[in-house]
A = this chain, B = another copy of it.
Amino acid sequence: MEILQVEAPLVCTRRVDGLRDISLRVLRNTKTGKRQVAVDPVGAREGNMVFTAMGSAARYAAGDFRILTDLTICGIIDNWEE
């Protein structure tokens, strides 16, 4: 599971049906700067360090297998120091 930092919510009006009414977040790798989009079922806030699951685990972690994500926030890390 990857360790990433939460940035702003993703604003996205046009989406596939499997992601309607789902809160999406932009996450950033603090080492490489690479950004990804993830589903957030834990209520993370901007600046939080989180870890994420990919693949089929991401869909179950989103709370419903029908949610069509490949990346989901699985937890907020309490005190992360690199």
Which residues does A use to contact B, with CB under 8 Å?
A: 1-3, 10-16, 18-19, 24, 26, 31, 33-38, 41-43, 51, 53-61, 63, 66, 68-79
CA distance A58 to B57 in the complex (A): 10
Could you list 25 examples of A-B contacts with CB < 8 Å? Answer: A1-B69, A1-B71, A3-B26, A3-B35, A10-B51, A10-B77, A11-B79, A12-B51, A12-B75, A12-B77, A13-B76, A15-B42, A15-B74, A15-B75, A16-B72, A16-B73, A16-B74, A16-B75, A18-B61, A18-B74, A24-B51, A24-B75, A57-B59, A61-B68, A68-B74
Main secondary structure of the interface of A (DSSP, over half): mixed
